[in-house]
């Protein structure tokens, strides 16, 4: 059973809880991550969350997300989730770097489920020749987009995207740390 790391307001671990029970209408603060995956031409991978997902089903979001397990580094969790969610192989991502290491957000899904996460944001590059084989439990569909086109789409239709993507994109642009 996947465990998430619970955090205090200072971002320090205070325990763990099963992922299946932590996301409710009173979700405690916990550790997560978001990853933005680029190809060699600078195109960004966007994924549409599976319609079977508990929160924000069917919305477009960043390349992939997840929760580091107890004792697992964020970087190791990113590699693990790239394999689980996108069907990549170990070594298929390179140049992994934090772009918003202090990102935190709170959002409420239409169903009433709350996201309450300290969620460092990372960018990485998909190595040439790597192939995506997304898990149908995680990804409904995917596309590669020009980051400038994503900015325009989010400005026109923010409701089509996950709230964390919208907030991350605004923070990335403000801090000029786009990949």
pLDDT averaged per 10 residues, the chain (length 179)? 95 95 95 96 95 94 97 98 97 95 95 96 96 97 94 95 94 56
Give the model confidence (pLDDT) of 34-61 as tens digits.
Answer: 999 999 999 999 999 999 998 999 999 9
Catalytic: 117?
yes
- From the candidates 9, 65, 72, 140, which is the catalytic residue? 65
Q: Which two tokens stand for residue 120?
A: 């460092």
The whole-number pLDDT of residue 175 equals 46
Catalytic: 179?
no
106 appears as a binding residue in the annotation: no
Q: In the CATH hierarchy, which fold is given to the domain comprising 3-176?
A: Nucleoside Triphosphate Pyrophosphohydrolase (3.90.79)
Does the global pTM surpass 0.85?
A: yes
85 appears as a binding residue in the annotation: yes
Say how far apart CA 41 and CA 65 lie, in whole Å. Answer: 22
- From the candidates 9, 84, 117, 155, which is the catalytic residue? 117
133 appears as a binding residue in the annotation: no
Residue 117 half-sphere exposure toward CB, CA atoms < 13 A: 28
117 appears as a binding residue in the annotation: yes
The whole-number pLDDT of residue 20 equals 87
Q: Which residue has the tokens 């059973």?
A: 1
Largest CA distance in the chain: 43
The whole-number pLDDT of residue 173 equals 60
The whole-number pLDDT of residue 172 equals 75
The whole-number pLDDT of residue 176 equals 47
> What pairs with residue 132 in β-bridges?
none
H or E segment and range at residue 81: helix 74-86
Distances (CA, A) of 67 to 87, 135, 154, 160, 178: 17, 17, 25, 23, 23
């Amino acid at each position: 059973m996947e465990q998430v790391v619970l955090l205090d307001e200072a971002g320090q671990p205070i325990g763990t809880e099963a992922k299946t029970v932590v996301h409710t209408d009173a979700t405690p603060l916990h550790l997560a991550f978001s990853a933005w995956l680029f190809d060699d031409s600078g195109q960004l991978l966007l994924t549409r969350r599976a319609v079977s997902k508990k929160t924000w089903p069917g919305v477009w979001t960043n390349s992939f997300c997840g929760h580091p397990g107890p004792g697992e580094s964020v970087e190791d969790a990113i590699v693990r989730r790239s394999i689980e969610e996108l069907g990549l192989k170990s070594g298929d991502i390179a140049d992994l770097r934090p772009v918003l290491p202090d990102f935190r957000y709170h959002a409420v899904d239409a169903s009433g489920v709350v996201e309450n996460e300290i969620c460092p944001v990372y960018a990485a590059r998909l190595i040439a020749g790597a192939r995506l084989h997304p898990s149908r439990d995680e990804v409904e569909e995917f596309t590669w987009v020009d980051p400038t086109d994503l900015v325009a789409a989010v400005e026109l239709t923010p409701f089509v995207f996950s709230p964390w993507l919208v907030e991350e994109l605004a923070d990335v642009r403000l801090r000029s740390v786009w990949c």
